[in-house]
Each structure stands twice: as C-alpha cells, then as structure tokens.
Amino acid sequence: MLVDSGAITEEQLQAALAGQKATGKRLGTYLIDEGVITEKQFVETLRMQLGVEFIDLNKASIDPTLTEIVPKDTARTYRLIPVKLEGNNLYIAMEDPMNFRAVEAVRQMTGRRVIPMIAYYDAITRALSVLYENEGAARAIEQMKEEQTTVTVDDLSDEMAANDDETAAPTVKLVNSLIERAIAEKASDIHFEPYEKEMKVRIRVDGRLNTMMDVPRELQNSVISRLKVMAGMNITERRIPQDGRAVVKRQDGTQVDLRLNTLPTIFGEKVVIRILMREMNTLNRHAIGITERDNERFDRILKNSAGILLIVGPTGSGKTSTLYTMIHELIDETVNIISLEDPVEFQIAGVTQVAINEKTGLTFASALRSCLRQDPDIICVGEIRDGETAEIAMRAAMTGHLVLSTIHTEDAISAIDRLRDMGAEPYLIAGSLRGVISQRLVRKVCPNCKMPVKPDPFTLSLIGMQDDGTVYYKGKGCERCFGSGFRGRTGVFEILAINAELRDAISEGKNGSELRRYLAKTGFTSMIENGRDLVRQGETTPEELLKVIPTIE
C-alpha cells in the first residue's frame, strides 16, 4: 500500500519487513523510526488508501466520561484514545489504525462497533496524559456537571454556588486533585486559563508548560471562585488583578505554600498559582548536578570564611537551588547565618530568614544594613540588583563576613562587568570576590522512554563534539514526560575560584574580553565541557545542550 502510493520503494519495504520482524515493532513505527518516511506521509497514505479519518487530538475536545468505557490499561497498552460515542459507534484514535488486534480487543470489551481514526504519535501521548492521568479531577467534573443542573434550576449566582457547601464539594475535589497532581509532577506553576470554549489547566514542569486538562466552560466560574476563596481574595471583584496566598496540606502531612494571582482576561479571570515547596532533601551537590570534577572546586570556594561568592546565570537557570544548597552546607551551630530572600521559598532550620518586601521599604539594601548590626558570620543576599546593595555586600565581605549572592548575568566575567556597571570600584570587586559559579539548567532524557539514536553531526559540531561511535540517547516521548522526551533537569556548572593573578587583573580594571583571554590560559573546566560530559553519558541531548549554551568559546 505504501509502495503503491509511491511513499517507499519495494526494496525499502522488504528491508523494513525484515527489520520490523527483528525489532518486533509495527511496520509503520519501524519505517518512521528509521526515517524512511515521515509520520505525516504515513498518516496521509493510510488516510487515502484505507479511507480512515484523521483526527487532530490537540484540537479535539474529548468527553472525560469516555475513560469509563475504555479504561486506562487498555488505552495505554494499545496507545489508543476514545474520541466520541455516537449510538453504538465508538470512535477511537490510534497511530496505526491497521492494528486490528487492538480494534478487536476494544470491540470485545465494550460490545460496541469500533471505528478507528488515525492520529499523530505525539498527540496520542499527550491525550493519554490529559485524559487518563487526571481521573480524580475527571470524576469531580462529572459530579459538578450533575450538581450544576440543580443549581441552574434554583437560579443561584456563581458566587453563591461556590459558597454553598453541597455544590462546593466537587469543586473543592477538582481543585485539590489538580493541585495535588501538579505537586506530584514537581510543577513550579499552575495556570488556569479561560478561553472561549473551555478553561485550560496547564502546569510548568522543568521550565515548560504542559496541558494537564481542559475544564468545561460552564464550570470555570466555580473553579476560579474556589481558588479565590482559598487565597483569601475578594470573589465578587473580577475586574482588577488580585494577589493572595494559600497553604495546602498534602495527604502525607507535608504543607505546601501557594502564591496565587488573578488577571482579568476577555474570557474571564486567569489564575496562576506558584508552588513554593521544594523538598529540602533533594537539594545537595549531587542532586543539583555538581560533577566529581567540580567537587573540589566547589569545596575550595565554600571554605572561604570571608569574601563574596556569586552565583550567576539567566532567569530559570537554577541559581536559587544552588544558593540554598550552599547555605545548607554552611549551617553550623557556631555561626550566625542571616538570609535575605525574595520570596522565602522554604524554611531552613538554623538560618535567620528575612522576607524582602520592596513595597513596604524593606529592600535588599536596607535589610542588609540592618542585618550587619545583628552580628552575622554568613550573609546570604537573594539577589544583587543595584549598586547600593552591591557596595554594602562587598564592604561587608571585606570586613570579615562571608556573603553569598546571585547576579543575573550570562557568565562569571560578565558578572564582574555588571558589578562595575553598577558603580562598584575595581579595587572593591578584586578585594571581595572569592568565587563565581555560573550555571544553566538542561533537561534530562526521560528514563521511561530513553532510546539510542544516531546523533546529527552538525549539531554535534556546534557543541564541539564529533561522532566517535558513542551511543547517544534521546526520549521518544511518553505519558510520563508529557511527550517531551525529557524528565527532570540538572545544572551545568562553571566554577571559578579567584586566584591572585585574576584578582590583580580585576583591580587593574581589565575589561571583560581581556579577563576572558586570561581565563582561557588558566585551563579551567568550562560549562560546555561539563555539558559535553552529560551528552556523552546519555543524560541529555546535543540539541538540549545547544539550546542553553548558545555560544561556544
């Protein structure tokens, strides 16, 4: 059939049939994986030749109750999605509608006439996750729909509905199960986004947004009202943005802090929840990605009893995790550690934590001045954003305190330039700076769908590597990783201990490119080298590394 349509040649077909037998893959999957045809060609051929309808699952709205007709196990085993039920006709989306065994299994189990449709692999993966990983939420939605009928009859307003215990129960269940799943997925944020036809719920995992589920439009107001009640916001005010906080207790007894805020949009209020808990026990050198090679350097800069240690990188590069890890290692009953944070992400026993609040005038600079009167040994400044904070921090470092902080710049040398731009004198920088850690976060290949791949030589060359026969890995995309092929992230570091020569160069006011030339001669392990190790170990992909480290030396 594929041969007839001209998509592949007879020889390719014979080779594929042999290869398919050896690998145990289905023919279509084998051809696509081997790059003989594209998925689009495959879908198009089947559509033309078999007359199977194509369905774009990313746009289709699927009734969650269909999960009761086709249970999770069956859907996962055969990778199929129940799309709609019309009379006795059950439409199911599959990558390969010629998988008659799957069709037969569904027919026998449901007793319905099964009509296969074709869909893309990624879209099926995503739909499996959206439809089957939110069972608690889906049940709550059903309950809400049933009970809402009663509410409409009584003609209650949305606000009253949200406050009415009977009606609130399923809403509470829905909201709780969405938050619970987001925390379980280690998401940093949850977005409740109203659109014309439904409200999308997306979560940010490993820095990227993934759709968790679609909530029917008619339930939008009760969900938003519930979130606003949780956060102590005014639920009748829908035209201006609001901020609030909430604490949720998890089933295992742990508490999670949430920051909520609303934004009025054309389809109603959008709510974004920031999840503030990260497990303290996941924060250690190994977990954040410090390599064996960098261990000693990390020790060396942490052994300073005075001076400034800076962590630099763009937004979302994991600076805060590194900062917390360093604080954690420095905790000792014999020292006074004061930490100025905006916001305080979690509490650390043994550290005096201060929440910076610029609105009330408690800025980094003013808090830093006050804390110097509190007899500190180690001071942690969440971020150096202005010249005043930089100056006080450096003077504190010169007078015998160890100061840890972060700066939003590309790399170690740019941090020195940045301090100078803020008005810091070169002698002050040279005198106080002891170490700089630059970092990026790369996504790790999903262990659940990891597979060996042939690397693209051009991408390899861009990160300064060549195909030397090493086996490289990538994730194919599965429901555990929202089809992205990545799960979790790790840091890629560059640790610079300031030595006497570099100190002299800084105090002489040498510029960025001169300092870089000097650094190149000292032979320290750069971020890209650490990144290449991760690629070689199959922990990440060349493409991912290239994304976070755009320039090579």
**Is residue 303 classed as helix, strand or coil in its secondary structure?**
coil
In terms of CB distance, is 270 or 489 closer to Zn ion?
489
Q: How far is the CB of 513 from Zn ion (least distance, A)?
A: 42
Q: Give the DSSP per-residue string, 142-200.
A: HHHHHHHHHHHHHT--HHHHHHSHHHHHHHHHHHHHHHHHHHHTT-SEEEEEE-SSEEE
Encode 35-58: b = buried (16+ Cβ within 10 Å), e = exposed. ebbebebbbbbbeeeeebeebebe
Q: Angle 410-445-534 (CA atoms, 0-180°, nearest 5)?
A: 55
Q: How far is the CB of 35 from Zn ion (least distance, A)?
A: 20
Q: Angle 401-323-416 (CA atoms, 0-180°, nearest 5)?
A: 70
Q: How far apart are CA 321 and CA 488, in angstroms?
A: 14
In terms of CB distance, is 400 or 447 closer to Zn ion?
447
In terms of CB distance, is 200 or 480 closer to Zn ion?
480
In terms of CB distance, is 478 or 495 closer to Zn ion?
478
Q: Angle 438-439-440 (CA atoms, 0-180°, nearest 5)?
A: 150
Q: What is the 3-state secondary structure (H, E, C) of 309-330?
A: EEEECCCCCCHHHHHHHHHHHH
Determine which helix (DSSP H) or strand (DSSP E) holds 223, and give its type and residue range.
helix 220-230
In terms of CB distance, is 210 or 225 closer to Zn ion?
210
Q: How far apart are CA 129 and CA 486, in angstroms?
A: 15
Q: How far is the CB of 447 from Zn ion (least distance, A)?
A: 8
Interface mask toward Zn ion for 470-499; x: CB under 5 A: -----x--x-xx------------------
In terms of CB distance, is 317 or 490 closer to Zn ion?
490
Q: How far is the CB of 478 from Zn ion (least distance, A)?
A: 4
What the block records as the tokens of 17 is 């049939």
Q: What radius of gyration do the chain's Cα atoms show?
A: 28
Residue 271's closest CA among 253, 289, 259? Answer: 259
Interface mask toward Zn ion for 236-265; x: CB under 5 A: ------------------------------
Residue 538's closest CA among 468, 459, 451? Answer: 451
Q: How far apart are CA 231 and CA 220, in angstroms?
A: 17
Q: Which residue has the tokens 């630099």?
A: 312
Angle, helices 292-302/319-330, rounded to nearest 10 degrees: 60
* Contact flag: residue 103 with Zn ion (CB under 5 A): no
Determine which helix (DSSP H) or strand (DSSP E) holds 430, and give its type and residue range.
helix 426-432
β-bridge pairing 472-475 and 450-453: antiparallel
Closest-approach residue to Zn ion (CB): 446
Q: How far is the CB of 445 from Zn ion (least distance, A)?
A: 8
Q: How far is the CB of 530 from Zn ion (least distance, A)?
A: 24
Q: How far apart are CA 483 and CA 476, in angstroms?
A: 8
In terms of CB distance, is 313 or 475 closer to Zn ion?
475
How many CA atoms, within 13 angstroms, populate the side-chain half-sphere of residue 440? 21
**Is residue 482 classed as helix, strand or coil in its secondary structure?**
coil
In terms of CB distance, is 129 or 363 closer to Zn ion?
129
Q: How far apart are CA 165 and CA 67, in angstroms?
A: 28
CA–CA distances in Å: residue 231 to residues 191, 260, 294, 404, 484: 15, 7, 43, 33, 32
Residue 298's closest CA among 440, 433, 490, 495? Answer: 495
In terms of CB distance, is 324 or 473 closer to Zn ion?
473
In terms of CB distance, is 339 or 484 closer to Zn ion?
484
Say how many residues touch Zn ion, by CB under 5 A. Answer: 7
CA–CA distances in Å: residue 155 to residues 129, 145, 149: 36, 15, 10
- Asked if residue 124 lies in contact with residue 60, where contact means CB atoms within 8 angstroms, the answer is no
Q: How far apart are CA 144 and CA 180, in angstroms?
A: 19
In terms of CB distance, is 48 or 451 closer to Zn ion?
451
In terms of CB distance, is 12 or 448 closer to Zn ion?
448
In terms of CB distance, is 447 or 457 closer to Zn ion?
447
- Asked if residue 85 lies in contact with residue 78, where contact means CB atoms within 8 angstroms, the answer is no
Q: How far is the CB of 123 from Zn ion (least distance, A)?
A: 15
Interface mask toward Zn ion for 413-452; x: CB under 5 A: ---------------------------------x-xx---
In terms of CB distance, is 449 or 519 closer to Zn ion?
449
Residue 395's closest CA among 411, 410, 384, 408? Answer: 384
User: Which residues lie near Zn ion (CB under 5 A)?
Assistant: 446, 448-449, 475, 478, 480-481
